[in-house]
Structure 1
């Protein structure tokens, strides 16, 4: 009997979560992809999501390459 009530409680909790998830997902609008403006980047028409994705990937790649360049090490005082 106790297991039965536990199962009923679990099913009720699952139903509540399912209703809340469906309500939350139905009210969210499709977000527009936006590439943050970076200095030196052209700020013309936004383009398609694919073009925005490629532009963002290029920006990240350039930033990583810039950070990976060897910096001159300061000479240690002896």
Structure 2
């Protein structure tokens, strides 16, 4: 997903949850409390990749879905 964001010149903050326990805990808090992640929790899945835009938690389903999100949220700078 980073590639799609970079190809489209979208500014983003990438968080590697394997880098530290603190970053992993931050991700798990989102995953364990966000309503959008309910299905992921019920399936005992990780919920990665995950995108947060203006407090909206979005589970990204692949490169094409990421492109749709770029359009939907108007992430490209004019």
Shorter chain as denominator, the TM-score bin is: under 0.3
User: Hey, which of these two has a bigger chunk of helix by percent?
Assistant: 1
Radius of gyration: which is bigger? 1
User: Hey, which of these two has a bigger chunk of strand by percent?
Assistant: 2
Q: Which has the higher contact order (CA 8 A, sep 6+)?
A: 2
TM-score by length of 2: 0.21
